[in-house]
Amino acid sequence: MPSKQISAGGIVYRREAGQLQIQLITDRYGKISYAKGKQENGETIEQTALREIKEETGILGRIVEPIDIIAYTYHHPQHGDIQKEVHYYLVESEGGMLIPQTEEIRSVAWYEPAVAWERQCNAGYDNNDFILEKALKLLGVQV
């Protein structure tokens, strides 16, 4: 039976001068993605999401609501098949300084919703399309 691994993260947004902005990261492979990471012992999934966002991007956030879960299985050379669940939340930025954790990601930036959607479609992981689409809908943006 495959091992199970839980990760969590979020689509982080803010309103800057009345304009909605979406946070995107460029991961270590050069793909567009969202801050996320593995759950640590004793953490709730929500705590994992907020900790990973803070560690990877420097932003403090507040969970607004769950978006969805991506589930898949991958093969690890030493541990065999791993069932992975990634829990995504809609997270409002509450401060902090945008600083990428360069050990984990290449960069992080804020984008207008239409630009964020275009970058996701052109340079993101296919299984993340519906995560951003759902987040934007929750924020009242149609793509």
What's the whole-number mean pLDDT along residues 112-138? Answer: 97
pLDDT at 82: 93
The predicted-structure confidence for 70-104, as pLDDT tens digits, reads as follows 999 989 899 899 999 999 999 999 999 999 999 99
How far apart CA 108 and CA 26 sit, in angstroms, is: 6
Q: In the predicted model, is pLDDT for residue 1 greater than 70?
A: no
Residue of 7, 13, 3 whose CA lies nearest to 137: 13
Per-domain residue ranges of the chain:
3-139
With 80 as the cut, is the pLDDT of residue 39 above it? yes
Average pLDDT over residues 123-128: 94
C-alpha to C-alpha distance for 26 and 5, rounded to whole angstroms = 22
Average pLDDT, the chain: 96
Q: Which fold has domain 3-139?
A: Nucleoside Triphosphate Pyrophosphohydrolase (3.90.79)
Cβ neighbours of 115 (radius 10 Å) = 14
| Pair 100, 25: CB distance under 8 Å | yes
Distances (CA, A) of 89 to 12, 48, 56, 77, 135: 8, 11, 16, 30, 8
Once rounded to an integer, what is the mean pLDDT over residues 60-69?
A: 98
* Alpha carbon distance 46, 62 (integer Å): 10
Question: What's the predicted TM-score (pTM) here?
Answer: 0.93
